[in-house]
């Protein structure tokens, strides 16, 4: 992804620099593979939050934010979404011969 700001339907989505829990996706994918098979759980949670925010934007949840306005992850994410994302633990990438 290698971006720090994402333009989605007139909104600017960014990861809060104050959040240690949910890292930005600017170094995704290479910098977050621990052992060649396992995605870092914090990265997986960040991906889930980004996907949730994307969906919420298209559902109109953030319509109160004017075009050009910022949505900060995790600060502007509903608490119920954060609670579900925090339940995510770990995932294994299957080995394939590409």
- Residue 45 phi/psi, 5° resolution? -65, -40
- Using a 10 angstrom Cβ sphere, with 0-12 exposed, 13-18 middle and 19 or more buried, the burial of residue 50 is buried
Q: Are strands 11-15 and 5-8 parallel, antiparallel or unpaired?
A: antiparallel
pTM of the model: 0.78
So what's the pLDDT on residue 12? 94
Read off the DSSP letter of residue 94: P
- Top pLDDT among 12 and 28 is at 12
Within a domain: residue 61?
Answer: yes
Q: How far apart are CA 17 and CA 90, in angstroms?
A: 23
pLDDT digits (tens, 9 = 90+) for 37-95: 666 788 889 889 999 999 999 999 999 999 889 999 999 999 999 999 998 876 566 66
pLDDT of residue 2: 47
1 confidence band (pLDDT: 50, 70, 90): very low
Residue 97 domain flag: no
The domain in which residue 74 lies consists of 5-92
Chain segment 24-41, per-residue pLDDT in tens = 777 665 555 555 566 678
Q: Which two tokens stand for residue 83?
A: 């609670």
Establish if 70 belongs to a structural domain. yes
**Is 23 contained in some domain?**
yes
**How many structural domains are present in the chain?**
1
Q: Could you tell me which residues are beta bridge partners of residue 71?
A: 13
């Amino acid at each position: 992804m290698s971006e720090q700001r994402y333009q989605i339907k007139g909104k600017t989505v960014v990861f809060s620099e104050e959040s240690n829990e949910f890292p930005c996706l600017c170094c995704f994918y290479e910098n977050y593979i621990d052992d060649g098979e396992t995605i870092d759980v914090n990265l997986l949670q960040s991906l889930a939050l980004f996907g949730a925010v994307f969906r919420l934007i298209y559902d109109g949840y953030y319509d109160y934010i004017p075009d050009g306005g910022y949505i900060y992850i995790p600060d502007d994410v509903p608490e119920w979404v954060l609670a579900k994302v925090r339940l995510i633990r770990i995932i294994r990438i299957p080995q394939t011969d590409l």
